[in-house]
Amino acid sequence: MRGIVSSRVEPVILLDTTLRDGSQSEDVLFSVVDKVRIAERLDAIGIDFIEGGWPGANPTDDDFFQEIKRHPLRHSRVVAFGSTKRSLTTVETDPVLEGLLRTETGVITLFGKSWTLHVTDALGITLEENLDLIHDSIRYLKERVDTIFFDAEHFFDGFKADPRYALQVLQTAEEAGADCLILCDTNGGCLVPEITHITQQVTLLPSATRIPWGIHCHNDAGLAVANTLAAVTMGATHVQGTINGIGERCGNANLTSVLPNLLLKMGRTTQAVSPAKLTQLTSLSRFVDEIANRLPHKNQPFVGASAFAHKGGIHVSAVLRNTLTYEHIRPEEVGNQQRILISDQSGRSNLLVKLAEFGIMGLDAQDPRLSGLLEEIKALEHRGLQFAGAEASFELLALKAFGKLPDYFQLLGFRVIDERRIRANNERTMGSEATVKLLLGERTIHSVGEGAGPVDALHTALRHALEGCYPQINAMHLVDYKVRILSGGGTDAKVRVLTEWHDGQRDWGTVGVSDHITAASYDAIVDAVYFKLYKDGISPSGEKQIGVVAI
């Protein structure tokens, strides 16, 4: 075991609230199908409980609870989430409690106020009335379902304001029949010492020896993961969070960080997430980002593309000898992989590793072609190219340096015309037309394309010119396009264009630099086309070769 080992040895229970709290993240909108697909992936990795939403809050949540019944889960149990009853209703007639029971999940998370400020100002009732709401709601639900989790909303802020009342809320929930008490840092502003101190007080309660307690942290101070782990160290055996930390405002505790820290650093176990299943973590992270239509955060710990990426030559030289020199775990433990980046900080070690990935092996470290390639890379990055985010462009550069890149076509010239069109109703629209002239073998090809902008039009014209000989390029799709000003800051500044592409089988990035944004874009697009054709094993004649061009 590595790192700190908690004195409590019970397996940690995991509740994922990506489908509920995570869906409250800005710009995240899950459909019913999305929710079901994510639930199935959470079940596959071994999450114990999946909070599906708040029944009655919106039609999507209601439909999900019905649809998930048609998709049996192997391990996970679906949880319905809602509040205690309203002050002017009875438990038998309260619509929130009725909606929770209608889901037929068998497990319910019920939240109630534990901060006096919220009781008096938000609910507008007395402190005693709030205790009655909590007690009556839990007691009523517990008689009808198997498991009740009680989320003590704003517990840590409530404890700081009135510790006696905050603890009384927990005691009331326990007496009413709650199966687990979850302490919530709802505003996400607590520091680790505060979490440690307050949870220590909870462990002194008489109920602490009889009923499990858990932790639910938000990330407004950037400490949700740290606070969660601190609570586990103090005895929490129930952990709530979301995949990739998505959630309202700054998000929730990120389970893709919590899980490996628990299993690999703290020596804790869970009910079903074994070390073997932990290898699914990176793919799960990227799957949720894809479903949420978010770009993966490269620098995310454990699962990010840069989590085990090495750029400096000294670092690479050391990590090739012993990965522990600059990697705190083996990336394979979380389903990630080591990456060696190429930049103007690269040394021969970086180049030899990357060239081996391309099939260029057995090189002498003193090979003059290697020295020439290294100098060219440094010169190009000095001009503004960036290969760390455009490895396809680097691979093409390396293949060309060793005389292994086919000559698919040559540019003879291109022209782009932008036009603003004014319609009869005075509606103004922009459009572009591009013309490219290519040498394809011994043929000269002219092609025209239209698009919403100059880059779109140029891409279309290039595709029209090439698709007759290379139909494979129609499978390419641009998924990201970034422009960065490199110098000057004026309208004549040099720019770098980074593009990312997908063809259903692979993803790749390319780069172009110029003082003209269209020229930089063209270079990046051409690299993308060349990379696609080379990886597909296509010859300059357009015929399929057996495998990629041999080195």
Q: Average the pLDDT over 434-463 and give the result.
A: 92
Q: Compute the C-alpha angle 34/35/37, nearest 5°.
A: 65
Whole-number pLDDT of residue 357: 66
The pLDDT assigned to 482 comes to 83
Instruction: Check if CATH label 3.30.360.10 holds for domain 13-273.
Output: no
Kindly report the CATH number that applies to the domain delimited by 410-535.
3.30.160.270
DSSP code for 328 = S
> Cα dist. 483→118, 451, 474, 480 in Å?
47, 18, 24, 10
Q: Give me the pLDDT at residue 327, please.
A: 83
Q: What are the residue ranges spanned by the domains of the chain?
A: 13-273, 309-401, 410-535
- Supply the DSSP string of 471-494, one letter for each residue: GGGGG-EEEEEEEEE-SS-STT--
- The amino acid present at 259, given as its one-letter code, is L
pLDDT tens track for 471-510:
999 999 988 888 888 765 566 678 888 888 999 888 888 9
Torsion of CA 370, 372, 375, 380, to 10 degrees: -110
Distance CA 464, CA 347 (A): 41
Q: Which of 238, 259, 255 is nearest to 246 (CA)?
A: 255
Residue 33 has pLDDT above 80, yes or no: yes
Between residues 506 and 98, the one the model is more confident about = 98
Mean pLDDT of 446-472: 92
Collect all residues with Cβ–Cβ distance below 8 Å to 427 and sequence separation of at least 6: none
Beta strands in 90-241 (DSSP E): 107-113, 147-153, 180-185, 213-217, 238-241
User: What's the pLDDT score for residue 215?
Assistant: 98
Q: CA 54 to CA 60: how far, in whole Å?
A: 10
Per-residue DSSP letters for 437-449? Answer: EEEETTEEEEEEE
pLDDT digits over 115-153, tens only?
999 999 999 999 999 999 999 999 999 999 999 999 999
User: What does 403-425 look like in DSSP terms, one character per residue?
Assistant: T------EEEEEEEEEEEEE-TT
Domains 13-273 and 410-535 share a fold: no
Euclidean distance between CA atoms 80 and 101, whole angstroms: 9
Instruction: Average the pLDDT over each of 13-17, 63-67, 360-364, 521-525 and give the range with the smallest value.
Output: 360-364
Q: What are the tokens at 89? A: 């209703």
**Which pLDDT does position 218 carry in this prediction?**
98
The confidence score (pLDDT) of residue 348 equals 62
**Chain mean pLDDT for the chain:** 88
- The predicted structure's pLDDT at residue 548: 41
The predicted pLDDT at position 1 comes to 26
Residue 44's SS3 state is helix
Q: Which residue has the higher pLDDT, 483 or 226?
A: 226
Helix (H, G, I), strand (E, B) or coil at 361: coil
pLDDT band at residue 360 using 50, 70 and 90 as cut-offs: low
Rg (CA), the chain: 29
Least confident of 158-162, 337-341, 407-411: 337-341
By mean pLDDT, which of 56-65, 158-167, 384-393, 400-409 is the weakest? 384-393
Q: What is the mean pLDDT of residues 27-41?
A: 93
pLDDT at 104 over 70: yes
Residue 312: pLDDT band (50, 70, 90) is low
Pairing of strands 495-502, 477-485: antiparallel
